[in-house]
Chains A and B, each alone.
Chain A
Amino acid sequence: MFNKGSELINLCNEKQAKIFEIVIEKEQKTSGLSYDEVIKKMKETLEVMKSSATSALNKEIVSVSGLTGGNSKRVQDYKNNHKTISGEFINSAMAKALSTSEVNASMGKICASPTAGASGIVPSALLAAQEKLNVDDDMLVNALFTAAGIGEIVAKNATVAGAEGGCQAECGVAAAMAAGAITEMAGGTPSQALTAASFALINIMGLVCDPIAGLVEYPCNLRNASGVINALISADLALAEVQSLIPFDEVVEAMYKVGKSLPESLRETAQGGIADTPTGRKLSDEVIK
């Protein structure tokens, strides 16, 4: 068992194990399920993620409120037909993140990762990395356990709720989970995985939760698109052996303190930020009535 990042690293060192191995072992112990059953369950989760990350790429999906939709396809088409600024890989990852976001907003099936609002980041980051690293689905399933282990430490020591900690607690934590998972999948050490997770949290520390009309749509979908990129670059920074000056556990604690010091207007109440702009308020009036 582990509550802190430092404890997880110690366990990995003691047992000469990867993070995902420790997390799978813990899951077996606490659930009473066998190794095969736990893996099978995560495979089902992966299938839901794959489906949500791809189904809006070629089909315009519009949200229940009508506020947003079609952006995944726009980015996908743009990537296929234009010389892009940030390249095919980045645009492809963003399109997948937007896809899950749009499936979610249209009442489709997603896996909360760690929340519904941030559900685009982990799937798109892992699928992008899969392409790049040329690994099979079994490796992705393992990576999902790495992601879950990192998310668990944040859930225990801070929060993953936007209403409590702002968007940094949702899209930030999702990016941290994905960054750590990719780093480990790419051959990084457990310490490097937590370094990547730290970078992802540091990069967006203080990000507020300010959805128009209180709906999980805008700017949520943009922050899923930028969140996957945050995950990818954080993984690269850690794999390049850029050192984290602040240990992961202290970064998590800092994120929690920042979240708690955010005014309520910036914690999922639709009373501040983008939601409280003149146009944001007007759009809110239009969709809520």
Chain B
Amino acid sequence: MKEYSAFDILGPVMIGPSSSHTAGAARLGKIASEIAGTGFYKVVFYLHGSFAKTYKGHGTNKALVAGILGLDPSDEKLRDSFDIAKSKNIKVEFIEADLGYQHPNSVKIVFKYHDKEDFYVMGSSIGGGSIIINNINGVQVEFTGAYPTIILKYPDRKGVISVISSILANAEINIATMRVTREGNIATMICELDSQITDDVIKEISNFKDLAYIRFINTRRS
């Protein structure tokens, strides 16, 4: 049986009106932008299902924009996120879309850059402010952002899993979950951890050769 904290029941402290359509949307935006990386000049949100139907009344649009600007779901600046985006010269666009067989509260967030190709992240808000990220640039993934997370893409070869796990073990970081998938010869590893990722670990893993993509997400659900 899942254990709850008193602050799961009396919480989260959040900007209303809906934990799934507002707080969850802000978290989706925030984690997506951490995965994509900064420097984007425009973000397009493809809203699916209930997100598409009710996003204006729930402030889902404002929450998503607040998220990509790095604001937390409890930040009262959330409702002014459009103005903040404007002042930072970041354009936003909302498109109602059918993303296929997805949870009803899903969004595909496309980040546009001047100097590199588009980057997209897809995720769902699954209730109570919790989320799942399920696609990064076409690669199926599944993680919640509730834990510090390492995302790696690399040409598949022997021994990577054991090297990563020993780097983490040496730093006394426990692995909560580890998933590795492969498309073609490119492997994607998602590793959720029980404690924050230290600078030394980031440095050591970044030294790996042939990494196609690497991201460290230290946000923890407060």
Name A residues whose Cβ lies closer than 8 Å to a Cβ of B.
1, 3, 23, 27, 30-31, 38, 41-42, 44-45, 48, 63-65, 67, 103-117, 119, 122, 144-145, 147-149, 151-152, 155-156, 160-161, 163, 177, 213-217, 287-288
Chain B residues within an 8 Å CB radius of A67: 57
Tell me the residues in window 3-28 of chain B with beta carbons closer than 8 Å to chain A beta carbons.
3-19, 22-23
* B53 within 8 A of partner (CB): yes
Chain A at the B interface: SS class: helix
Give the interface segment out of B74-82, B87-95, B139-147, B205-213: B74-82
Name the B residues within 8 Å of A151 (CB-CB).
9-10
Q: Are B54 and A45 in contact (CB under 8 A)?
A: no
Q: How many chain B residues have a CB neighbour from A under 8 Å?
A: 36
B9-A114 in contact (CB<8A): yes
Measured between beta carbons, the chain B residues less than 8 angstroms from A216 are: 16-18, 58
Structural contact, B14 and A107, CB atoms closer than 8 A: no
Give the distance in Å from the alpha carbon of A106 to the alpha carbon of B129 in the complex. 18
CB proximity of B95 to chain A, nearest CB, Å: 16
User: Do residues B7 and A116 form an inter-chain contact, with CB atoms below 8 A?
Assistant: no
Alpha-carbon separation in the docked complex, A70 to B26 (Å): 27
Asked if A111 and B16 sit within 8 Å, CB to CB, the answer is no
Known contacts A45-B7, A116-B23, A155-B4; A108/B15 CB under 8 A? yes
Nearest-CB distance from B157 to chain A (Å)?
Answer: 38
With a cutoff of 8 Å between Cβ atoms, the chain A residues found around residue B50 in the complex are 214
CB distance from A72 to the nearest CB of B (A): 14
Residues of chain B with a CB closer than 8 A to A27's CB: 5-7
In the bound complex, residues from chain A placing their C-beta under 8 Å from that of B53 are 214, 288
Name the residue of chain A whose CB is nearest to the CB of B7: A41
Q: B154 to nearest A CB, angstroms?
A: 35
B59 at the interface (CB under 8 A from A): yes
Would B14 and A64 count as touching, CB distance under 8 A?
no
Is A148 in contact with B9, judged by CB distance below 8 angstroms?
A: yes
Q: In the docked arrangement, what's the CA distance between A182 and B209, Å?
A: 61
